[in-house]
Structure 1
């Protein structure tokens, strides 16, 4: 009869030997990895306003859709998450569905951008890009896909300029910022944003990244790096890991005044629900959204909980409102294998019906 202590010792020895093999494989794998690249789909610049650039993606075949689809991403991260790599690309999936896909790249703000307002992002950059696409394509209204914070900005634009949008799609977009399970919102509501912005000017990217990492400190600061040991013998898996790490920490600073407005009117004031979002003197009223709206949320999202997104249903003015939940988290909805199969086809199918 084998002693349980002997069995435990044997298991520990086997685990130690496996770890040693993984570390040895890592010494061979890592030197050959080199720098990782992102953005697999060819693109061309079609419009620019300062640091903000509008890109058109070029698919393997010409688009069959006659209405452009503009992606507006969040200000707090770089937008190449939607085109991260060959097998993880929302853009590639949309192109394969025949869409004519464009993306606003916000660039990297510096001190010269310190006093830009939400009005600049909504009525200058987003509206300028949309006007360019309307003129270039010869259509009166285009389709917009707003993602995360970019979805909130797109909702504001749609309320101010509803005649310029044919269809609006929001993805993992916060609408009710005061749901009980929104940990980030609970933190932010207690921050003196005036003091923060008056002291720092633009808000450093490192401060923003630290805030996000501390939402799940063990998982995001320890567990994932322990998990890295299991893939050290797989060069492709290591490249995937490093590519994601590069995106996480490749964050722009946040423009001081626009950040102040967004935190105060959205996170602290919960303006979509309570009212009080004012852009260039105009109050945002989501009842102005009479165009069809598709709202996509992630069922395990810790940054934008499902209820925070689904609140949109009761606020829009359109009767053509659709809502779709996908399994996964805030990032998984772009990069998981399930998302690659389901999200682009769901968007394209919904647009085709309209």
Structure 2
């Protein structure tokens, strides 16, 4: 029989969780209410400038007009940005999380089948995710799986008739963030980063992390770097084969004079007497050495993995492109970064073994619940007859709430090392007897920041230029948001052609 004290502890923790949750809600309500009255005052101030219509406009400002709504929503962004990054709110959120964790521990201690229900939930979500992946795979460009290990697969995209892609030439590996799914890189055929790169003659590979289950909770940052190393090796092997096939094809197409010239050159090579200054290693063609190197593009947390890999394997990289990557956490002043630094995330991982993808979804929404729930659906209603908008909206919504779990060890490594300790720029991340040192990176580097990014501060990303040894550096500032880098019309008409040209030129 369960002691009465255990029930009392359960009720106490449940009441504490409810209390902290209520206090958090009251903070949101206060911010929304104050923002509304600020919007009214702003509207009245503007109306006072038109004295002939003062009465009419003052009355209008008391109504939920579209102008008032937009002003109110803009004010909530500002007010919530300050509130959610405050120490007071971080403390409330921390207490709320810890009281829920303690309540869960008590339920488990009393024999409630918490893990059983979580296993059922994981089984259902895994099946849904498998269905979603198969459905989305039919939408993206044709591809083949070049390498697969555990839950990870290396996708090799095949260009269409309009794409001047030659396999083995200009290979690029995209390392996507383990926070979400790669489909944002190919949200639809019209707005596709992959398709844009293919159209410029880049041979595109992408590392898909899949949907890690509880089986993979112990995967660490080191393991993810190992996946990248395996993927790069696979690309290099395939590139060598493709080049050999292309060279054979070229030789078969030679006319008789070309063939005779080739035979003569071969004879000269065979009778060539080597000397110390003309050793075999020195005579290797530069293009041959170059072909062993590949370009890498890292997006968000995928960029952190790319930087760690580049630090340890600089010689295998031709050039490096970083897309909205959190580099210097001291410069990252976003809401989610603040929470990552202040919350005891280790307790969450120790209890669950991983970070649930739906928890991340809730965190994204909490930045401004009205804007990221109600407002976007109001916009959808207004543009319901816009076919292109609706296609993009459905695609983005499907991607947005299909967030995979993050393995606990990986989450700890990135949050503790990169956010809490800022170890990436301090060159103090130790991985299996190896130390990540950004100064070892000397390849050409291209950095892309979104000026309106509310997930990764642009200042944090731009700091990378102060820590690498690269002589060739390029900075692109894009007027848009974190996701807009991949899906906005201006990104595909202006940004990605410029990015592709740089990759090919360096």
The offset of 1:107, in angstroms, is 0.6
The offset of 1:188, in angstroms, is 1.1
In 1, distance between residues paired with 2:387 and 2:190? 16
- Matching of residue 119 in structure 1 with residue 219 in structure 2: no
Q: Whose strand proportion is higher, 1 or 2?
A: 1
Which secondary structure does the structure 2 equivalent of 1:85 belong to? Answer: coil
In 2, distance between residues paired with 1:106 and 1:352? 26
Which secondary structure does the structure 1 equivalent of 2:330 belong to? Answer: coil
Find the counterpart in structure 1 of residue 26 from structure 2.
none
Q: Runs ≥4 in structure 1, deviation > 4 angstroms?
A: 1-6, 35-38
CA contact (8 A) 2:425 2:438 kept: no
- Matching of residue 294 in structure 1 with residue 485 in structure 2: no
In 2, distance between residues paired with 1:299 and 1:141? 31
Which secondary structure does the structure 2 equivalent of 1:303 belong to? Answer: coil
In 2, distance between residues paired with 1:177 and 1:218? 28
Instruction: Note the residue ranges of structure 1 that are not aligned, 5 or more in a row.
Output: 16-34
Pick one of 142, 162, 165 that aligns with 1:63: 165
Pick one of 178, 191, 199 that aligns with 1:96: 199
Bigger Cα Rg: 2
Pick one of 141, 145, 152 that aligns with 1:52: 152
Compute the TM-score of the two structures, normalised by the length of structure 1.
Answer: 0.87
Tell me how large the CA RMSD over aligned residues is.
2.4
CA contact (8 A) 1:178 1:185 kept: no
In 1, distance between residues paired with 2:56 and 2:450? 45
CA deviations over 1:18-39 (Å, ceiling 9, x no partner): xxxxxxxxxxxxxxxxx99574
Find the counterpart in structure 2 of residue 106 from structure 1.
209
Find the counterpart in structure 1 of residue 140 from structure 2.
40
CA contact (8 A) 1:269 1:276 kept: no
The offset of 1:180, in angstroms, is 5.6
CA deviations over 1:71-101 (Å, ceiling 9, x no partner): 0000010001001102110111111111100
CA contact (8 A) 1:37 1:243 kept: no
CA deviations over 1:160-203 (Å, ceiling 9, x no partner): 11111111111111101122632211111111122111101121
Q: Quick one: structure 1 residues 162 and 213, their matched pair in 2 at CA, closer, same or farther if it must change by over 3 Å? A: same
Count of residue correspondences: 331
CA deviations over 1:99-140 (Å, ceiling 9, x no partner): 1001011010001101111111002x1110001111111232
Instruction: Note the residue ranges of structure 2 that are not aligned, 5 or more in a row.
Output: 1-51, 67-131, 241-290
Find the counterpart in structure 1 of residue 337 from structure 2.
185
Q: Quick one: structure 1 residues 283 and 238, their matched pair in 2 at CA, closer, same or farther if it must change by over 3 Å? A: same
Compute the TM-score of the two structures, normalised by the length of structure 2.
Answer: 0.62
- Matching of residue 73 in structure 1 with residue 176 in structure 2: yes
The offset of 1:306, in angstroms, is 1.0
- Matching of residue 249 in structure 1 with residue 351 in structure 2: no
The offset of 1:240, in angstroms, is 2.1
Find the counterpart in structure 2 of residue 307 from structure 1.
459
- Matching of residue 134 in structure 1 with residue 236 in structure 2: yes
Which secondary structure does the structure 1 equivalent of 2:187 belong to? Answer: strand
CA contact (8 A) 1:97 1:344 kept: no
Q: Quick one: structure 1 residues 150 and 244, their matched pair in 2 at CA, closer, same or farther if it must change by over 3 Å? A: same
Q: Quick one: structure 1 residues 217 and 3, their matched pair in 2 at CA, closer, same or farther if it must change by over 3 Å? A: closer
Which secondary structure does the structure 1 equivalent of 2:174 belong to? Answer: strand
